[in-house]
Chains A and B, each alone.
Chain A
Amino acid sequence: MRGRGPASLTLPSPREDGEAGGAAAGQPTDAQVIAEALVEPQRFAVLFDRHWTRVHRYCISRAGEAGEDLAADTFRVGFERRSAFDLSRPDARPWLFGIATNLVRSYLRGVERGRRATSRLSVGTQGDMTDDAIGRAEAELLGPRLTAALAGIGVGDRDALILHAWEALTYEQIGEALGIPVGTVRSRIHRARARLRHQLQDVR
């Protein structure tokens, strides 16, 4: 237990270079910070300072302006679930990106769900329930080129591909983030890349 109590909390300011993952040399690892946060919850803000910029960028890249709230939610959910973090893993980024990915998916489902509900109510029928909820909502956020290129890539495959390409996570880290075996990550990324190559022939 650290001697500092909530009343005397003085946490460092958010780093300007929040792109760096994990801890800087000489600093406690993410796992150590989370372990400390189990007894001194405010320590979790250190994790925020380290990873906010990247998580924020990731969420906005995938969900547009709503990504800002989703990024904040990522840390709130992470805080609430900190006791479930595997302390043998020093780097918390895969875990945070996994939470963020789930929140983005839920958000995109909600966008499409709301649209469908409105459509049903307005026309008095069951409406169009045939669309890929996440894909259609995401399409409006990513723009036509990315949308066309990512069309036909399943949600799970797309998550793995984007975490690999945009966040430079390793296969092992993606497996950790998405809660799937490394072999499944490999097959998903392989499948997604194959579809992307195919799609790019039309996009270019």
Chain B
Amino acid sequence: MTHDQKGPGMTTAPELDWLVRERPVVDPPRPDATRRARADLLALANAGAGGSTIDAQRSESPAVPTLTDRRTTRRRRAPLVVAAAAVAAAAVGVASVGLPSTGNDTVDSAISADPVGAEVLVETAESAVAAPADAEGDATMSVHTTTSGAGTFTGADLFLDDGRYFYGAAVEGQGPHGALAEADASLQPVLDAARAVAELEPEAARTSFFGSVLAGLQSRPPYTDDGAASDAEARAAADVEAERVAAQAAAGGDGPLPTRQDDLIWATVIDAFAGANGDAAVRAGLLRVLAGIETISVTEGTDDTGRPIVTIANVQEPDGEPFGSSIVIDAETGVLRSYTGGDAVITYEVTRVIAADVIG
């Protein structure tokens, strides 16, 4: 393969002209390759027609397995060890979910970073659901490593395509700390709510998401679980909050302040993202919800491998004290790659796996 210097199809844009000139020169298809490809297609067509007729050219070509045949290779089983799951996944040839590992990534040292609008999140949401699903595997494994002042911990979430969810924990270098076990579905209402807004405009997505899963929480003290508030109480609290924000705005504050609603949404979305790495529609919904939060900042950049990433940052004031946190997502798939908050950094390595290889 050489490079074409003739420049066919020249355009008025120099960078496009350059790209056209640099296109690898490809020889015309070899006649035997064309015959073989055509014969294979006809054989498939004949089979589809229910007939046994095979074009005469078919006999000249060796049997070529179908695409499906090539992909249906058996895989060995992996032990129920979370720490070994990622290694086993690679060893048996699982598919990546379209992004590199983040276990050792330096996503925070992006080589380029440009502040952009929240519409980038909508773009990512669109591309996440439009991205072709990886054919291999029937589950998504998300191995996460948390580094903080308390040490380093590794755990894993396994999202089966059939909706089941497993989790486990392990300590690096100390063998299994816990095998994967089927978990309860406490996040399920949140994930369902996100999925339901996967195609809504950001503001509508935010409103719907909040109403679905958070309205009942707003009247509670933060971070407690001492009983659910009634819908009426929640609405009243929301109204009070809205009045507070309006008063702040009227007083000439420097832009919109974080609200309790958005604090709750942000925290919930961050939690949900970790549980959404296996479902593009959920990721799309969460991104649209985030795009509806005015206080977030969005930065577009690339990681040190050149892959586009989006950093979403926010400052919460849950107790009147500002607390900044951010997540980094893959710009194309919306898959969560890392979270930073306080002194904690969590990185995520996401792969497609065969569930039976992991959970037996």
Contacts and interface: CB of A to CB of B under 8 A. Distances in A.
Interface of A: 5-7, 9, 11, 14, 37, 40-42, 44-45, 48-49, 52-53, 56-57, 60-61, 64, 68, 71-73, 75-77, 79-80, 102, 105-106, 109-110, 112-114, 116-117, 120-121, 126-133, 135-136, 141-143, 145-146, 149, 151-157, 161-162, 164-166, 168, 178-181, 184, 187, 193, 196-197, 200
Contacts of B112: 152
A178 to B, nearest CB: 7
B232 interface: no
Contacts of B302: 152, 154
Contacts of B29: 52-53, 56, 68, 71
A162 B349 CA distance: 29
22 contacts: A48-B41, A49-B38, A71-B37, A75-B41, A106-B135, A126-B90, A128-B104, A129-B101, A129-B104, A130-B106, A133-B96, A135-B305, A135-B307, A146-B22, A154-B302, A157-B308, A165-B16, A165-B19, A166-B23, A180-B127, A193-B13, A193-B16
A42 B311 CA distance: 50
A136 B306 CA distance: 10
Given A113-B95, A130-B305, A143-B24, A72 B331 contact: no
Among A109, A112, A154, A162, the one with the most B-chain Cβ atoms within 10 Å of its Cβ is A154
A19 B302 CA distance: 37
B28 interface: yes
Given A72-B37, A165-B16, 20 more contacts: A41-B48, A44-B41, A48-B41, A56-B33, A61-B26, A73-B67, A76-B40, A109-B134, A130-B103, A130-B105, A130-B304, A132-B305, A132-B307, A135-B307, A145-B22, A146-B22, A149-B19, A157-B308, A165-B19, A166-B19
A151 B308 CA distance: 11
B308 A154 contact: yes
A146 to B, nearest CB: 5
Contact of B45 (A79, A153, A196): A79
5 interchain residue pairs of minimum CB distance: A129-B101, A6-B51, A154-B308, A72-B37, A41-B45
Nearest to B3: A143
Contacts of A178: 130
Contacts of B126: 180-181, 184
Contact of B46 (A41, A114, A117, A128): A41
B104 A168 contact: no
B123 A184 contact: yes
Given A105-B132, A113-B93, A126-B87, A200 B306 contact: no
B151 interface: no
Given A40-B49, A154-B307, A168-B9, A52 B19 contact: no
Contacts of B13: 193
A45 B46 contact: no
Contacts of B44: 41, 76, 79-80
Contacts of B102: 130
A120 B42 contact: no
A60 B26 contact: yes
Contacts of A126: 86-87, 90, 101, 103
A151 B93 CA distance: 26
Contact of A184 (B93, B127, B349): B127
Interface residues of B, number: 72
A117 B93 contact: yes
Interface in B276-329: 302, 304-308
A196 B15 contact: yes
A120 B132 contact: no
B66 A76 contact: yes
B42 A42 contact: yes
Given A60-B1, A181-B126, A109 B49 contact: no
A187 B44 CA distance: 39
Interface in B45-65: 45-46, 48-49, 51, 53, 55, 64
Given A45-B41, A130-B104, A131-B305, A77 B90 contact: no
A187 B119 CA distance: 11
Contacts of A113: 90, 93-96
Contact of B20 (A102, A166, A193): A166
Interface string B267-280: 00000000000000
Contacts of B28: 53
Contacts of A56: 26, 29, 33-34
A155 B332 contact: yes
B95 A109 contact: yes
Contacts of B20: 165-166
A5 B15 contact: no
Given A113-B93, A121-B91, A149-B19, A57 B26 contact: yes
